Amino acid sequence: MKDIIDGRKVSLEIKEEIKNFVLNRKNENKSIPKIASILIGNDEGSIYYQNSQEKVSTSLGVEFLKIKLDEKITEENVIKEIYRLNNDSSISGIMILLPLPKGLNEKNIVNAISPKKDIDCLTYESVGKLYLGEETFIPCTAESILTLLKSYNVQLEGKEVVIIGRSNIVGKPTFQLLLNQNATVTICHSKTKNLQEICKRADVLIVAIGKPKFINSNYIKRGAVLIDVGTSSYEGKITGDIDFENVKDKAALITPVPGGVGALTTTLLIRNSCKALENSED
């Protein structure tokens, strides 16, 4: 194996950029980024993620508004709260933690967010711009993948990339980002036939299926770059979709889990809030 892709190292570099951005804003007596994070209900994963967002944001000097709403709240009142945040000039970015409690229409609620503050790229307008190749915020996990590949000088133009997983937040946007880089991209899923043979063609293999250690050395060609997006609990440890120990001697580059893609996502979300603030002043 040539190298391990260190998501934490790349994240630290971007965090320094954010710190300097905030410091410069303060020195110029300008407003600083402020994120509004909306949590509805008591989903444990969402609570953990919101607390993590707050910790990282405040450590970088970015203001963080933690909003917690009762799981029995009506859809109308959720949308009213989002409109209030849309109209609050001190808020540069809005995100809503998913999944939502039963009875709430996710599409209606998400699309109430102003695209100018949609730092997680959830609204129809943001997603549409992404697929049209227009400038917009990029879903943070997909952007993490591309950022790591670029940080390690992985050439994508003309390369064959295979993505396993077709979710709206990882597989599909990653497909589009790589296509924009002139890669030849294949996306696979649970109904794909001859998966092993397809994966063996890949110069870059990206896996996001939530099946611990699913991909072993039989799925990859020697010298491939492996990006593992999976995070599952396996024998008491957080484990990726790729069997790291089994494939490491065959891969040129590989992301660990933890410490790979996931180490970067919250940092990129915060960076998006900085971009949103700048855009609001143009």
* Residue stretches of the annotated binding site: 165-167, 231
Do 75 and 108 contact (CB within 8 A), yes or no? yes
Distance CA 228, CA 241 (A): 6
Residues forming the annotated binding site for NADP(+)?
A: 165-167, 231
Do 179 and 156 contact (CB within 8 A), yes or no? no
Do 88 and 113 contact (CB within 8 A), yes or no? no
Q: Is the peptide bond before 258 cis (omega within 30 degrees of 0)?
A: yes
The amino acid occupying position 104 is L
The amino acid occupying position 2 is K
- Say if strands 232-234 and 237-239 run parallel, antiparallel, or are unpaired: antiparallel
Consecutive H or E run containing 207? strand 204-207
What is the chain's alpha carbon radius of gyration, rounded to the nearest angstrom? 19
